Amino acid sequence: MVYGVLKLINFAHGDIFMAGAFIGFFLATYLKLPFVATLLGSMVLTALLGVTVERIAYRPLREAGAPRMSLVITALGVGLFLENFTRATVGAEPRNFPRLLETAAWDLGGVALTSLQVLIIGTALALMLTLRYLVRYTLVGKAMRAVADNPEVLGLMGVNVDRIIVLTFVLGSALAAAGGILYAQAYPVLDPYMGIVVGWKAFIAAVVGGIGLIDGAMLGGVILGATEVFVAAYLPSTYRDGIAFAILILVLLLRPTGLLGRPVVKKV
């Protein structure tokens, strides 16, 4: 979403994911909140973190007309700051995320399936469909697509471009927090650097599907996730990361715009 609106690859997104997981950890551990309250609380607080990052780190550079590379370097710096700030305040030792849901298991024709897996898939699917509806069929979504196309003209038409950009960061950060909570339920060990690999995998998925496209990010995530599962099943699990990057290189060679992406041609 951030790339679609700002043409900025937000490399700090994985660390926003990590921050959302840690916020959920504190809400569940110290406030004893149930799963739904932990999920919603983490999404709200992480959205505020995303707005703060946009206001302090990105907006001054954007208003000054800084080169795009400066924004990319700043995004990397924000990610490093979040990692080391979390390490300095929370500690470097891994934390165990409390189990908020009772897990039941079923055997469906030799396929093991748990209620937690069903919940994670269902929640992720519901959030993705909600986001798709918001972007495609609401006034806010239309404004986001307009900002992505031509922010200068949109500003001349009286639309508050900064507000739309803030909303984009709110949505992106809230969804990152939701991903962090769901991830922590499946893999309940948190550490300050857990977002690095996840962030890179999300970037690969977005590029494979078509960066800047919500449907493309969904498709890329499914392809990458399925590939890693099959690799872990039939090959040593240490091959997963290498094959993920090999898929990225292959897609860039054969279809640089991604599986769903199309070359953008603008009349001058």
pLDDT tens for 44-96 read 999 999 999 999 999 998 888 888 888 889 999 999 999 999 999 998 899 99
Nearest to 3 by CA among 159, 259, 197, 207: 207
pLDDT at position 225: 87
Q: Given pLDDT bands bounded at 50, 70 and 90, which one contains residue 179?
A: very high
268 occurs within a structural domain:
no
Is the pLDDT at 7 greater than 80? The verdict is no
pLDDT at position 265: 65
Residues 203, 156 within the same domain: no
Which tens digit of pLDDT belongs to each residue from 183-228?
A: 999 999 999 999 998 888 888 888 888 887 888 888 898 898 888 8
Among 146, 173, 191, where does a domain finish?
191
Among 131, 158, 191, where does a domain finish?
191
Which tens digit of pLDDT belongs to each residue from 123-175?
A: 999 998 999 899 889 988 888 888 888 877 877 787 788 898 899 999 999 99
**How wide is the angle at C-alpha 259 spanned by C-alphas 134 and 10, nearest 5°?**
55
Q: Residue 149 sits in which domain range?
A: 2-191
- Stretch 235-247: mean pLDDT, rounded? 84
Residues 109, 217 within the same domain: no
> What span, in angstroms and rounded, lies between the C-alpha atoms of 27 and 39?
9
Residues 202, 168 within the same domain: no
Residue 263 vs residue 51, higher pLDDT: 51
231 occurs within a structural domain:
yes
pLDDT at position 76: 92
Is the pLDDT at 267 greater than 70? The verdict is no
Q: Which amino acid is at 243?
A: I
266 occurs within a structural domain:
no
Number of domain units in the chain: 2
> What span, in angstroms and rounded, lies between the C-alpha atoms of 100 and 34?
6
Among 164, 191, 218, where does a domain finish?
191
Residues 117, 84 within the same domain: yes
Nearest to 74 by CA among 88, 91, 55, 87: 55
Residues 144, 211 within the same domain: no
Is the pLDDT at 17 greater than 90? The verdict is yes
Of the ranges 30-39, 53-62, 70-79, 257-266, which one carries the lowest mean pLDDT score? Answer: 257-266
Residues 98, 169 within the same domain: yes
Residues 233, 128 within the same domain: no
267 occurs within a structural domain:
no
> What span, in angstroms and rounded, lies between the C-alpha atoms of 232 and 215?
26
